[in-house]
Structure 1
Amino acid sequence: MRGSLEFTLSKLLPQCTFKQLKQIHALIVTTSLNQNIQIFSKFLRRSTEFGSMEYPNLVFSQLGPQVSNDIVIQNAMIRGYDINGPFEQCVSVFDEMPLRGIKPHNFTYPYVLNSCSKLGWYGKGKQVQCHIVKHGFESNLAVANALFNMYVKMLDSCDSGVVNYRSLNDARKVFDYMRVKPVELWNRMISRYASGGDVQSARKLFDDMPDKDVVSWNSMISGYAEVRDVGSASDLFERMPEKDVISWTLMIGVYANAGDLITARKFFNTMPCKNVVSWNSMISSYNQHRQYEEALDVFVQMHSEGVVPDGYTFVSVLSACSHLGALEFGKWTHSLIEDWSRFGTISGTALIDMYAKCGDLNKAFALFIKIGKRDVFCWNVMIRSVAIHGRAEDAVKIYSLMQKEGLKPNDFTFTAALFACSHGGLVEEGERIFHSMDKEFGIVPKLEHFGCLIDLLSRNGRVEEALRMAKEMPYNPDIAIWGTLLGGCRETSHLKLAEEVIEKATELETDESGVYVLLANMRASAGQWPEAQSAREKMEEKKIWKNTGRSHVYASNGTQEPDIESHSKYREKVEQIRFTSNQCEPQKE
């Protein structure tokens, strides 16, 4: 009878509800099965699978030491904490095991290592690894996998662009020691080398693989794409026994990163099958090389073929519209975004930026208000947009409102706010914002922040103070700062100070035409014709030419009109799209 009950409970526990679990608990207690470690450990393990450790903790606290100190019971609790948290408690139970006279084994270590990874306690994880090696569990597949995952996560936690070679070597040691290596594990090791730029080690591992799948080939091509080795990537692609949509999309990136957009487009056009990522890759490739019209053309083709865009598509297309001043195209793109919640703040911010750069600040601000959850980047774009349209005081108000909303400004926030103050002549407000960076927010001002404040002071007749700041700041002034100071000297007719600025500016041996033109004009206005001619001659010697000026035209209401040619061209394109669509479906109201 008892054996039959044990068998029945073993079958019921894996699929029982929480209510049924409590009933089983009562049955276990009344039949004294709580002393049966096999049954009770299954019950305790199941109790941890409902998303909370409250009930398992209550059950565990009522156990006597004879049961609670069993390794199977301990492992059930460790597993529960690793799944549900708190992860610190998982590590704490592990640390108490020696005090209870319990020896961990291969079922214990993976969960403890996982919790260390989730907490970022990599030092503790290495201590656990010492226990693993000491007790001979390093060759166990589950333990080795957990160790490998920990080192990979350690690599992922490094700052972007920084390669932790020590952690990479540690991961490789764990990898080499593993007796059984599934192809997925080989792929991950190759991917880690490739993403870190060590394509030689990745290729050696790739060549040593006993079996390869399409992911192996793609990982290697991705590595060559990172270092822009077009030849090796192309050679691998041609030798691939099986190519998928990722393989083709990677090759688009390979050629685009190398600047060969013609070949990239050929690959795109000849792809046997495209997905939304492939289209996004082609659009963003054109954007990266400032071929914005081509980017919009690809999007039109994508739309005509019925491919549903995602958030990345809209961000890329709206960015192209912003650069072209293609307001009508941007409006049409906006009309395609039906579900805001699906795409979130990033697409909303791109829309705000597009409307602002195309001159419709009111629409940009209306969208800004409409977005429910605004991140710091969204606020930064709005501050900058308002400032560019000459509404400096409104920009500063938005900057203050952002802080009232509980968001902490970052580097770009201060650049936008200081830019607004500079172009609006808000000297006191600009100085207050600049000095608050370090004092209130712990952000050390960068060169661009000093540049904004120097520009603000120079524009408002405080050139001597601006020059003193340029000399005392912890950065070497660039040509933009010297040009700003030179402009301030011209506005105040401070020729003596201008001489000092000119001397510093010419020491940079810059290829920027602006400073030489300004220098020549100042000397000419002061009657120093030989010196003015000398500045012009220096431009000719260095083959520096002043570009033909081109500016946006502002309407009387303060909005910015986009370039007329681009505006007309893309309005015509949108009308053509709408006409084509209307032939196929009823017009939407």
Structure 2
Amino acid sequence: MNGLQLGGQISEILPRCSFVQLKQIHALLLTSSIHQNIHVFSSFLRRTTELGTMDYAILVFSHLNPSFRTEVQFWNAMVRGYAFNGPVEKSVSLYGELLQRGLKPHNFTYPYVLNSCADLGWFWDGKKVHCRIIKTGFSLNCSVSDALLNLYLKISEFSGPGVVSDGKVWDARKLFDEMRDRTIEVWNRMILVYMRTGDVYGARQLFDSMEDRDIVSWNTMISGYVKVQDVVKARELFERMPEKNIVSWTSMIGAYAKAGDIITARMFFNKMPQRNVVSWNSMVSSYVQHGDFQEARNLFIQMLSEGITPDRYTFVSVLSACSHLGDLEFGKWIHYLIDDVSQLGVIAATALIEMYAKCGDINRAFTIFIKIGMKDVFCWNVMLKSLALHGKAQDAIKLLSLMQKEGLKPNDFTFLGALFACSHGGMTEEGQIIFDNMQKEHGISPTIEHYGCVIDLLSRNGRLEEALRIVDRMPFEPDIAIWGALLGGCKLRSDFKRAEDIVERVRKLRSKEGGIHVSLSNMYASVEHWQEALSAREKMEEENILKRTGQSSVIYASRGSSTFTRYFQEDNG
């Protein structure tokens, strides 16, 4: 068999050979005249980069025949290999080295270098590569133009919302318009970038100019309208779709749920020809977000009866429903359905902790908390707040200390929970230290809620003058909750004069909140000052101030009543 035939056979075998066979081919190449065949040896080097690691490729490349190092295809094989296997930055550095050696990159080099720059976020380097491409005339090559578009789309995505006016999307659009061949996938990605930057009008113009659309094109546009809460246009496109899939139907469920029309959302859910766990999750979480916790629970039961296996997103929603319903037994049953809490993910495990805490079993909540391996700050905050609400103030503060020892950085919600614990546990000194250290040691500026907690703490413990000094120097106008805390301090000390001053200052806020006035009236009534009590009530009637019923004035508890609001606002599908 001559060298030409053997070379042809090796070229056929290379794309499907194993690593062991590759080594045998390498030995054959080194012991025959074929090692001088540039095409065969460059194909062999390329194959060494396709096995998931660059170790063997580096070995082969380092022992290349010196004459081969002047051939760009060998460098291309390595640039491509690093782009796929990493480290990706080596792909870019090799490109720089081949330029220094005087080699000329071409349409087989540029796509991998550009994609590496995009993946690394090295946009300035990518733009310099673009300049060379323009000079060398490769910008019209399909592979190169696709990679250039990918680079500029990444630039616009990295820049975030509002970049249209800065020209970032227009750079990508210019490249898009200059492309000779544009696949539907390229059109769809361009539409998606317009959506991500908030330019729904630009996305729709592009969508309308498409000659061919696939289901992704339609779903991308519908999702964009859902994002900006334009239900009418989302519905109009949905009705026009030649073909709908689960994503299309689920998008419409989300559209109507976000618009507050849970009835129409359920109508779409009921009409779906097929449902998967994502569509069930969308409907269950929509009920939770709209406060219909009983219906969320019922739908979860229906989901199980239809043989749908719940995932962690399902459990987060239904556990949140149980928390609000205070249904410990149902919550325990859900816990039983979860095979392994540690494999569920920290968000779902945190939902389980909160369910037990809100349903009264703080010990079980803490046991689960201890068993979770990797806990984020959100999980620690929920446990800390739960301990505080159950009157375990000392344990809550110990948890804050342990959290910091674990190397986690507290955030504003952490300190809000700790201050709440101190306020309701009478831990005045500890609360003041925590409040002072927020900004000094952690760089977190107190919000009005933090001020409210520390003012409540001081007022509850008879240190009214200190509380008033904080009110005078804080950078916010006091709200009703803060005045209420001060009035509570006045009541403890039967300080009617100061209480009247506080009510007068509240009146100047022109607030219609009646709780302050009622508290003052009750203060007078408690010591049988009936005339003053009646006068306080009459002033309420004169100014048309009504007392609201059934609302808690606890600052942190009210703010934390829906722990998973942040989670539900994210797209979990």
Q: TM-score, normalised by structure 2?
A: 0.87
Residues 500-579 of structure 1: pairs in structure 2 closer than 5 A? 501-502=502-503, 504-518=505-519, 520-521=521-522, 528=532, 532-533=536-537, 535-537=539-541, 541=544, 544-548=546-550
**What does the per-residue CA deviation read over 1:100-138, in whole Å, with 9 as the maximum and x for residues that have no partner?**
112222222222222223222233333333333333333
User: 1:504, 1:116 → 2: CA distance?
Assistant: 61
SS at match of 2:278: helix
Q: What residue number does 1:20 align with? A: 21
Q: What residue number does 2:67 align with? A: 66
Q: Which amino acid in structure 1 is aligned with residue 244 of structure 2?
A: K
Residues 244-283 of structure 1: pairs in structure 2 closer than 5 A? 244-283=245-284
User: 1:140, 1:445 → 2: CA distance?
Assistant: 56
**What does the per-residue CA deviation read over 1:499-527, in whole Å, with 9 as the maximum and x for residues that have no partner?**
66445544443344434434555577787
Q: CA deviation at 1:469?
A: 3.0
Q: CA deviation at 1:496?
A: 5.6
Q: CA deviation at 1:66?
A: 3.4
Change (3 A) 1:421 1:261: same
Q: What residue number does 1:579 align with? A: none
**What does the per-residue CA deviation read over 1:196-224, in whole Å, with 9 as the maximum and x for residues that have no partner?**
43222222111111011222222222222
Residues 132-531 of structure 1: pairs in structure 2 closer than 5 A? 132-157=133-158, 162-165=161-164, 166=166, 167-340=168-341, 342-494=343-495, 498=499, 501-502=502-503, 504-518=505-519, 520-521=521-522, 528=532
CA RMSD, Structure 1 to Structure 2 (Å): 2.8
Q: CA deviation at 1:329?
A: 1.5
**What does the per-residue CA deviation read over 1:518-550, in whole Å, with 9 as the maximum and x for residues that have no partner?**
455557778755862465136x625x4321368
| Alpha carbons 1:521, 1:532 under 8 Å: kept | no
Q: Which amino acid in structure 2 is aligned with residue 164 of structure 1?
A: V
Change (3 A) 1:506 1:304: same
Q: Unpaired segments of 5 or more residues in structure 1?
A: 553-589
Change (3 A) 1:398 1:3: same
Change (3 A) 1:130 1:253: same
Q: Which amino acid in structure 2 is aligned with residue 394 of structure 1?
A: D
User: 1:90, 1:23 → 2: CA distance?
Assistant: 27
Change (3 A) 1:548 1:404: closer
SS at match of 1:50: coil
Change (3 A) 1:104 1:435: farther
User: 1:324, 1:253 → 2: CA distance?
Assistant: 24
Change (3 A) 1:519 1:199: farther
Greater relative contact order (Cα < 8 A, sep 6+): 1
User: 2:83, 2:102 → 1: CA distance?
Assistant: 22
Q: CA deviation at 1:475?
A: 4.0
Q: Which amino acid in structure 1 is aligned with residue 322 of structure 2?
A: C
Change (3 A) 1:170 1:485: farther
| Alpha carbons 1:155, 1:163 under 8 Å: kept | no
| Alpha carbons 1:520, 1:535 under 8 Å: kept | no
| Alpha carbons 1:353, 1:385 under 8 Å: kept | yes
Q: CA deviation at 1:63?
A: 3.4
Out of 485-494 and 359-368, give the one that drifted further: 485-494
Out of 150-159 and 9-18, give the one that drifted further: 150-159
Q: Which amino acid in structure 1 is aligned with residue 351 of structure 2?
A: A
User: 2:69, 2:320 → 1: CA distance?
Assistant: 61
Q: Unpaired segments of 5 or more residues in structure 2?
A: 555-573
Out of 289-298 and 162-171, give the one that drifted further: 162-171
| Alpha carbons 2:52, 2:85 under 8 Å: kept | yes
SS at match of 1:25: helix
Q: CA deviation at 1:461?
A: 2.9
Change (3 A) 1:549 1:218: closer
User: 1:19, 1:258 → 2: CA distance?
Assistant: 60
Q: Which amino acid in structure 1 is aligned with residue 55 of structure 2?
A: E
User: 2:540, 2:369 → 1: CA distance?
Assistant: 47
Out of 274-283 and 458-467, give the one that drifted further: 458-467
The total of aligned residue pairs comes to 548
User: 2:101, 2:256 → 1: CA distance?
Assistant: 61
Change (3 A) 1:115 1:481: farther
User: 2:269, 2:22 → 1: CA distance?
Assistant: 56
Q: What residue number does 1:586 align with? A: none
| Alpha carbons 1:520, 1:536 under 8 Å: kept | no
Q: CA deviation at 1:9?
A: 2.2
Change (3 A) 1:170 1:454: farther
**What does the per-residue CA deviation read over 1:303-355, in whole Å, with 9 as the maximum and x for residues that have no partner?**
22222111111110111111111112211222221244552222211111101
